[in-house]
Structure 1
Amino acid sequence: MDALNAIINKGNDFLWGFLLIFLLCGTGIYYTFRLKFIQLRRFGEGFKLVFGHFSLNGEKHDTGEMSPFQAIATAIAAQVGTGNLAGAATAIVSGGPGAIFWMWVSAFFGMATIYGEAVLAQTYKEEKDGQVTGGPVYYIKAAFKGTLGKAMAVAFAVFITLALGFMGNMVQSNSIGAAFKEVFAVMHVNVPSVAIGIFVAAIGAFIFFGGTKRLAAVLEKVVPIMAGVYIVGALVFIVMHISALPGAISSIFIGAFNPQAVVGAAAGITIRQAIRFGVARGLFSNEAGMGSTPHAHARAKAECPDAQGLCAMVSVFIDTFVVLNLTVFVILTSGILGTIDPTTGEAFTGIRLTQQAFVSGFGNFGHFFVAFCLFFFAFSTVLGWHFFGAVNVQYLFGKGAVKLYSAIVVVCIIIGTTLKVNLVWDMSDFFNALMVIPNVLALLALFNVVKDTKKRSK
């Protein structure tokens, strides 16, 4: 296991230390300037489109399509997960508070990137077996004709199935297991993590095998409620520690360019690490440029591709600049950062750091609050990521293979609760990076399609 971890870490150092930062941020910057800062100019329009379609009981479609709000709820379900509670914590520990600044930068430019992803998903969606479907595999083939396009589409389909369907869902269940283990410890009840995994897997299986209609019906109800509960709780905590907020904000900006001034020279955190963990965890959270959420946007019965692109921008804003930021400021205002975890002998990290931060303000209720929120955040992400993987499994092997894929995901959820947190996150980072490459190259190749779509919609 240690040998595997070493190999994965070397791959991540190369991919996230240079290649992915260049590709992701470069693509976001390119789209931002070529589309004339669309994430600023037309954000209000996108906001109205998203919440103008708000409903807890959306319209049902026979061809597997979703209402625009259902599609956004599915996208946000995938985006708002452990990345917002556990990922923010690991970014701060590994890259210092300055990593959050680079999260913000990547998310800002990522809003333009995800606009392009949603537009292309709508433009190149198809109907197969009586169901509307779409995603990067379809626009990758359009971007690169012939054998190259087919090979890149297949590579993407394999990578996303591994990255999200299998490894990613292990991350989600791992964090759920860790959070509830903490709760049970407070209650002095010994419940094995694998039992929690079995419980999560059982509920997931019920929805997995119910198809797109059941998925959309669940997520359009769960997403608004779970986000609302967490936002209220986090805001209460921050108000309780409002005097520490200026210092928290200052540490983010200072740490972005001089990490050692915040964490101390002994921590050994460099600007490169702050950028690396900020961008990596930011991507895991908002998924802009990763090629995951286009599967949901393709299913939307949208007014036009441009309209769905504007909605997609809002989903990144909600994920990073609202939900993730709340976790960041809870941790940084709590004063808990750097505290030693007695069970490991090392500083708190991941979901345990977030939990301990809330406990510092809410007492033992903090354990329950984080576990409750994380369950719904992570579980909704499991549902979204299973769906994204299923689209690609169907593309690779046909509709009949989806049930086998779903069964494997169920097993991965159970296994994920038993693994070490660092290994799970590292493997997820690695496969996330691999799926980004063909997706981003297609986005660059098809920029003129996105630009022309925007012109036609005006």
Structure 2
Amino acid sequence: MNLLEVIGKISDFIWGPPLLILLVGGGIILTVTLGFFQVRYLPFILKETFGKMFKKPTGEGTITPFQAACSALASTVGAANIVGVPVAIALGGPGAIFWMWVVALLGQATKFSEIILGIKYREKNNLGEYVGGPIYYLKKGLKSPILGVMCSFFFMLEIIPSISAQSLSVCQTVETIGIPKIITAIVMASLVALVVYGGIKRIGQVTERLVPFMALIFIISTMIIIIMNISNLPHVFSLIFKGAFSPMAAIGGFGGSAIASTIRWGMARGLYSNEAGMGSAPIAHSAAITDHPVRQALWGVFEVIIDTLVICTMTALAILTTGIWEQVPADKAASMPALVFQNAFGHNLGGIIISISLLLFVLSTIIVITFYCEKMAESLFGLKFSKFIRLLCIISIIWGAVGSLESLFSILDLLLALVVIPNMIGIVLMRHEVKELKDEFFNDANFYPGAKIK
């Protein structure tokens, strides 16, 4: 067994029960500590986010709250929203979707907490921009520079090969319609450079237009497919709720699943999809103009709703209502969305829609994680080094089309685990600071109209 195989086995183990326990357990602790705020205050949260997307904010910051949310969403809404959900269904059955919803509810508390801490401990850099993230709140709040450096360093290392992998997924898809991979990669690298060299303000301006557009294309397309198969919807919801609590027998291409497998794949899909606990969201949100950390953190709940409860659910319902999940074996699960779209809209149009969706999802992700990588480098080694890292990220887009990436994939998950572990430990240990700020906000009628006047 070579070194890469050993790393792969270690990574598979860590991303099994250990990290599921840490992320789900941490989400439960935070949800209880915060008094199930995501349920109690849901109408207010929706009013402050969906209802105030274009309202001019007050307070200090660099970009608007909506731009910050779109930047964070650009990172979380990626190719995995299209291909990750069918894999969860193939390996865990329809019941996996129920557990995906459960972990999304818990993830709202996690993302809410890390954004609050990100804004509380943010700083201004030499360019006058607000910067924040795990390294700042772990170093200044938890008084643990080691955890902060560990989180940022491994996050920076993980992003560069991740960009290459994202680039490859698009280049291979576009190559099927006759465009060489290197041409696609050069175009993508040029577009990303135009955006990221404009700084966080330009990133915010681009993502606030790109993210709603790409999300609408995908949501409307999947909605049409679901409506075309609306008669199957009651049966699908029955499968989701029954399958969540009972083992499912093999059907057609579906090989069957035990309850443990259903829970494992559903929770994993929810966790990986919305990135709650990974420390990425506070990097974007720390730049937002806001009058209170909690007000901006409400956008974290908004992100989980859009990413997991809307986009991932729409993907799942399109796959389940068409019955494609019963026809395609687990090892071909990633092809399910393309087959669903091609069956509904025809081979050419369906292929174009899914290709455009994938391209936009990946392009937006690369733009934002390049910014994340740059900010991690800045926090560790200073502004000059961060500019070098920015260039390296753009070059890695082209490397994704021409380089050999097989040896990188087994390392990516391990690096990401080394990011999640210190970040989640820090968030859970600092949960009482989060609770104090949450209580301060919801007990003040100036912030929350429903507060009791003492």
* TM-score normalised according to structure 1 size: 0.88
Unaligned runs of 5+ in 2: 444-454
What amino acid is the match of 2:376?
N
What amino acid is the match of 1:397?
F
What amino acid is the match of 2:106?
F
What amino acid is the match of 1:219?
T
Range that drifts further, 267-276 or 127-136? 267-276
- The answer on 1:28 being equivalent to 2:24 is no
Distance 1:262 1:413 in 2: 40
> In structure 1, what is the equivalent of residue 99 of structure 2?
102
Question: Residues 66 and 327 (structure 1 numbering): CA distance in 2 closer, same or farther, change over 3 Å?
Answer: same
> In structure 1, what is the equivalent of residue 166 of structure 2?
172
- The answer on 1:453 being equivalent to 2:427 is no
Question: Residues 194 and 278 (structure 1 numbering): CA distance in 2 closer, same or farther, change over 3 Å?
Answer: farther
Question: Residues 198 and 226 (structure 1 numbering): CA distance in 2 closer, same or farther, change over 3 Å?
Answer: same
> In structure 1, what is the equivalent of residue 73 of structure 2?
76
Alpha-carbon offset, residue 423 of structure 1: 7.4
Q: Are the equivalent residues in 1 in contact too, given 2:69–2:285 (CA < 8 A)? A: yes
Question: Residues 406 and 46 (structure 1 numbering): CA distance in 2 closer, same or farther, change over 3 Å?
Answer: same
| Structure 1 residue matching 2:124: 3-state secondary structure | strand
Unaligned runs of 5+ in 1: none
Distance 1:424 1:71 in 2: 30
CA deviations 1:294-330 (Å, max 9, x no partner) are 1111111112011112121111111111111111111
Alpha-carbon offset, residue 205 of structure 1: 1.8
Distance 1:237 1:421 in 2: 35
What are the within-5 Å matches in structure 2 for residues 73-222 of structure 1? 73-129=70-126, 130-145=128-143, 149-163=144-158, 165-182=159-176, 184=177, 189=178, 191-222=179-210
Question: Residues 43 and 4 (structure 1 numbering): CA distance in 2 closer, same or farther, change over 3 Å?
Answer: farther
Question: Residues 397 and 259 (structure 1 numbering): CA distance in 2 closer, same or farther, change over 3 Å?
Answer: farther
Q: Are the equivalent residues in 2 in contact too, given 1:74–1:220 (CA < 8 A)? A: yes
Distance 2:385 2:399 in 1: 21
Distance 2:387 2:342 in 1: 41
* TM-score normalised according to structure 2 size: 0.89
Size of the alignment, in residue pairs?
A: 440
CA deviations 1:182-211 (Å, max 9, x no partner) are 4x1xxxx3x333432232122112212221
Q: Are the equivalent residues in 1 in contact too, given 2:142–2:430 (CA < 8 A)? A: no
What are the within-5 Å matches in structure 2 for residues 253-292 of structure 1? 253-261=241-249, 267=255, 269-292=257-280
> In structure 1, what is the equivalent of residue 226 of structure 2?
238
- The answer on 1:19 being equivalent to 2:18 is yes
Alpha-carbon offset, residue 31 of structure 1: 1.3
Q: Are the equivalent residues in 1 in contact too, given 2:75–2:368 (CA < 8 A)? A: yes
Matching residue within 418, 422, 442 for 1:434: 418
Alpha-carbon offset, residue 144 of structure 1: 3.4
Distance 1:277 1:95 in 2: 6
> In structure 2, what is the equivalent of residue 10 of structure 1?
9
What amino acid is the match of 2:381?
F
Identity in percent: 36
> In structure 2, what is the equivalent of residue 387 of structure 1?
371
Alpha-carbon offset, residue 422 of structure 1: 8.6
Range that drifts further, 196-205 or 248-257? 248-257
Q: Are the equivalent residues in 1 in contact too, given 2:111–2:277 (CA < 8 A)? A: yes
Alpha-carbon offset, residue 91 of structure 1: 2.2
Question: Residues 366 and 218 (structure 1 numbering): CA distance in 2 closer, same or farther, change over 3 Å?
Answer: same
Distance 2:192 2:398 in 1: 11
| Structure 2 residue matching 1:349: 3-state secondary structure | helix
